[in-house]
Amino acid sequence: MAVKVRIPTPLQRLTQGKEEVEGVPGTVIALVNNLEKHYPGIAERISEGGKIRRFVNIYLNEEDIRFLKAEETVVKDGDEVSIVPAIAGGVFTVNSVSLQCH
């Protein structure tokens, strides 16, 4: 049994349209880096410099990893990890936002 990773629609172009992929147990950041081996380009959409991007939320089962150990949260076989890009906007300009796939 592996880790089930839910891919949001904005990133499904990188997973050949798959909504769910398999991940490896370990820390969240290791899981993200491992996804990169199978789906090139995905890690930089989710993380930057070993940290999860500000406008990306990650859930381990039902818990936001920010309330656990963030990137260092440990994921086990049978767990479900959901990647959920934030929904946000407003008048102020923001820098360094590059979740989109071009």
Partner 1 sequence: MDNLAIPEKIYEELIRHCREEAPYEACGILAGRGREVTVAYRMTNTDRSSVSYIMDSGEQFRVMKEMRAENLSMLAIYHSHSSSPAYPSSKDVSLAFYEDAVYIIVSLAGEEPVVKAFRINNREITETGIIIGRA
Q: Could you tell me which of 54, 56, 51 has the C-alpha nearest to residue 70?
A: 51
Q: Is 17 in the site for partner 1 (CB under 8 A)?
A: no
Please say which residue, 16 or 93, places its beta carbon nearer to partner 1: 93
Q: Is 15 in the site for partner 1 (CB under 8 A)?
A: no
Please say which residue, 19 or 72, places its beta carbon nearer to partner 1: 19
Contact between 30 and 81 (Cβ < 8 Å): no
Q: Could you tell me which of 11, 20, 14, 94 has the C-alpha nearest to residue 56?
A: 11
By the criterion CB under 8 A, which residues form the site for partner 1? Answer: 8-10, 55, 57, 59, 64, 82, 84-94, 97, 99-100, 102
